[in-house]
Amino acid sequence: MDSNDVSADTRLVWFSLLNLDDRVALLADPDAPLPLSLVYEITRDKARVVSDGIFTSNGSPNSTWHLTGDIARLLRGHRDRLLRWWNELPIEDQDVFINHRDGSLPESAWFLARSAPSGVASTIVDSTKHDVSLTPIGQVFLEWKAREKNS
């Protein structure tokens, strides 16, 4: 298991089940207050997530919900590793990733993908061709960066 891959981390199984908008928002700011609709979405039919202490609340009548410190820290770790890599890429290379954020990169991007931490998986098809695909966290990260760029 790659400890940097959200899809391989059992503590974050619920994250991969959320819609893309919610995953982007949580990755961008794991410490942000959670809208009640998202709390319901995460906990619906997944009571184990709540009992595992994913959320904390201040207990007041107008409670705000947050990811627990451990879970927020885990998401921040994934985000921060990808941000460090991203910030070192030239803009034209960032655009290659953004334009192919559906999960499949052109073979010409293989050398770029090799430098990415936990965000890109590369599988060699044969000695002359590489199949380059993004991990689920890589797709969410690139969607966030694309939205940021277009806003």
Q: Name residue, tokens 């590489």.
A: 130
Tens of pLDDT, residue by residue over 108-136, are 777 777 777 755 655 555 556 666 777 88
Q: Lowest-confidence range among 43-57, 75-89, 100-114?
A: 43-57
For the CA atoms of the chain, what is the radius of gyration? 17
Calpha distance 20→126 (Å, rounded): 33
Q: Is 132 left (phi over 0), alpha (psi -120 to 50) or beta?
A: beta
Tens of pLDDT, residue by residue over 15-72, are 888 999 999 999 999 999 888 888 888 877 654 443 345 555 665 656 778 888 888 8
Pairwise pLDDT comparison (12 vs 110), residue with the higher score: 12
Rounded to two decimals, the pTM is 0.80
